[in-house]
Structure 1
Amino acid sequence: YDLRDASPVIRGKEYDLMMKRLGKEISFKDKKKGFREMEKRAFKAGVTALHSMEGCENDFTNIDALLELQDQTPLEILLYPQVMDIRGVLERGLPRIGGCILIDGSLGSRTAAISSPYADAPGNSGRLYLDDETLFFFMRKAHEAGLQMSFHAIGDRAVNQLVRGYSLLGREAEKRHRVEHAILVDEMDFDAIAGLGLWLDFQPMFHEFWGKPGGLYEQRLGKQRASLVNRINTARQKGIPFAFGSDCNVTPLDPLGGIAAAVHHPCPDESISVEEAVCGFTLYASRIGHTENLLGSISPGKKADFVILSENIFDKKNVRGVAVQATYIAGECVYRAEDHKESV
Structure 2
Amino acid sequence: MTNNPSTLYRGGVLHCPADPSATALLVRDGRIAWLGADADAPAADRVVELAGALVTPAFVDAHVHVSDTGLALSGLDLSGVRSAGELLDAVSAFAVGLPVDAVVLGHGWDESTWAVPTPPGAAELGRAAGGRRVYLSQASIHSAVVSSALLAACPEAAAVPGYDESGWLRLDAHHVVRAVARASVTRAQRVAAQRVALEHAASLGIAAVHECGGPEISDEEDFTGLLALSGAGVPEVYGYWGELGGAARARELGAVGAGGDLFADGALGSRTAYLSQAYVDGDGCGHGYLSAEQVRDHLLDCAAQGMQGGFHAIGDAAISTVLAGFAAAARRLGTDRVRAARHRVEHAEVMDRRLIAGFVEFGVVASMQPAFDRLWGGAGRMYEARLGLARSLASNPMGAMHAVGVALAFGSDSPVTPLDPWGSVRAAAAHHSPVQRMSVRAAFAAHSRGGWRAVHLDSEGVLALGAPATFAVWSTPAGVERGLPVLQAEDPELRGAQDPTPLPVCRATVLRGDVIYQEGVL
Structure 2 length-normalised TM:
0.61
The more displaced of 28-37 and 312-321 is 312-321
Is 1:285 aligned to residue 451 of structure 2?
yes
The aligned counterpart of 2:260 is 99
Q: Deviations over 1:68-118 (max 9, x none)?
A: 333634411101112233332232353311211111111111111111111
Aligned counterparts of 1:65 and 1:129: Cα–Cα separation in 2:
29
Q: Deviations over 1:182-236 (max 9, x none)?
A: 1111221111221111111110000000012211111111111111101111111
The aligned counterpart of 1:114 is 275
Aligned counterparts of 2:238 and 2:280: Cα–Cα separation in 1:
38
Distance 1:225 1:81, change over 3 A: same
The aligned counterpart of 1:89 is 250
The aligned counterpart of 2:388 is 222
272, 280, 298: which is aligned to 2:463? 298
Aligned counterparts of 1:69 and 1:335: Cα–Cα separation in 2:
15
Note the C-alpha offset of 1:59: 4.3
Is 1:18 aligned to residue 177 of structure 2?
yes
Aligned counterparts of 1:109 and 1:93: Cα–Cα separation in 2:
32
77, 80, 95: which is aligned to 2:240? 80
What amino acid maps onto 1:14 in structure 2? A
Note the C-alpha offset of 1:302: 2.9
Note the C-alpha offset of 1:63: 1.5
Aligned counterparts of 1:21 and 1:55: Cα–Cα separation in 2:
16
286, 310, 313: which is aligned to 1:150? 310
Aligned counterparts of 2:157 and 2:324: Cα–Cα separation in 1:
37
The aligned counterpart of 2:189 is 30
Distance 1:278 1:141, change over 3 A: same
Is 1:52 aligned to residue 218 of structure 2?
no
The more displaced of 190-199 and 22-31 is 22-31
Is 1:322 aligned to residue 503 of structure 2?
yes
Sequence identity (%): 28
> For the Cα contact (< 8 Å) 1:206–1:251, is it kept in 2?
yes
Distance 1:153 1:281, change over 3 A: same
The aligned counterpart of 2:93 is none
Greater gyration radius: 2
SS in structure 1 at match of 2:345: strand
Aligned counterparts of 1:77 and 1:26: Cα–Cα separation in 2:
21
Note the C-alpha offset of 1:297: 1.4
Aligned counterparts of 2:368 and 2:323: Cα–Cα separation in 1:
16
Aligned counterparts of 2:487 and 2:422: Cα–Cα separation in 1:
12
The aligned counterpart of 2:201 is 42
What amino acid maps onto 1:229 in structure 2? S
The aligned counterpart of 1:334 is 516
Q: Deviations over 1:152-188 (max 9, x none)?
A: 1111001111111111222222211011111111221
The aligned counterpart of 1:342 is none
SS in structure 1 at match of 2:388: helix
Note the C-alpha offset of 1:249: 0.6
Structure 1 spans left out of the alignment, 5+ residues? 340-344
User: Of Structure 1 and Structure 2, which has the larger fraction of its residues in strand?
Assistant: 2
Q: How does 1:208-287 map to 2 (within 5 A)?
A: 208-287=374-453
> For the Cα contact (< 8 Å) 1:178–1:199, is it kept in 2?
yes
The more displaced of 226-235 and 130-139 is 130-139
The more displaced of 56-65 and 224-233 is 56-65
**Alpha-carbon RMSD:** 2.2
Structure 2 spans left out of the alignment, 5+ residues? 1-153, 490-498
Distance 1:255 1:178, change over 3 A: same
> For the Cα contact (< 8 Å) 1:95–1:146, is it kept in 2?
no
User: Of Structure 1 and Structure 2, which has the larger fraction of its residues in helix?
Assistant: 1
SS in structure 2 at match of 1:79: strand
Is 1:179 aligned to residue 345 of structure 2?
yes
> For the Cα contact (< 8 Å) 1:204–1:259, is it kept in 2?
yes
Aligned counterparts of 2:441 and 2:265: Cα–Cα separation in 1:
32
SS in structure 2 at match of 1:102: coil
Aligned counterparts of 2:173 and 2:467: Cα–Cα separation in 1:
43
The aligned counterpart of 1:207 is 373
Note the C-alpha offset of 1:120: 1.5
What amino acid maps onto 1:82 in structure 2? G
Distance 1:195 1:134, change over 3 A: closer
> For the Cα contact (< 8 Å) 1:233–1:269, is it kept in 2?
yes
Distance 1:309 1:160, change over 3 A: same
Aligned counterparts of 2:440 and 2:467: Cα–Cα separation in 1:
23
Distance 1:218 1:274, change over 3 A: same
218, 223, 235: which is aligned to 1:63? 223
Note the C-alpha offset of 1:260: 0.6
The more displaced of 174-183 and 62-71 is 62-71
Aligned counterparts of 2:380 and 2:237: Cα–Cα separation in 1:
37
What amino acid maps onto 1:15 in structure 2? H
The aligned counterpart of 1:130 is 290
Q: Deviations over 1:248-297 (max 9, x none)?
A: 0100111111001011111111111111011011111110111223x311
The more displaced of 93-102 and 159-168 is 93-102
Aligned counterparts of 2:360 and 2:196: Cα–Cα separation in 1:
39
The more displaced of 324-333 and 15-24 is 15-24
> For the Cα contact (< 8 Å) 2:278–2:285, is it kept in 1?
yes
What amino acid maps onto 1:202 in structure 2? M
Note the C-alpha offset of 1:34: 0.5
Aligned counterparts of 1:107 and 1:92: Cα–Cα separation in 2:
31
Aligned counterparts of 2:396 and 2:514: Cα–Cα separation in 1:
36
SS in structure 1 at match of 2:468: coil
What amino acid maps onto 2:250 in structure 1? V
Larger relative contact order (Cα-Cα within 8 Å, sequence gap ≥ 6): 2
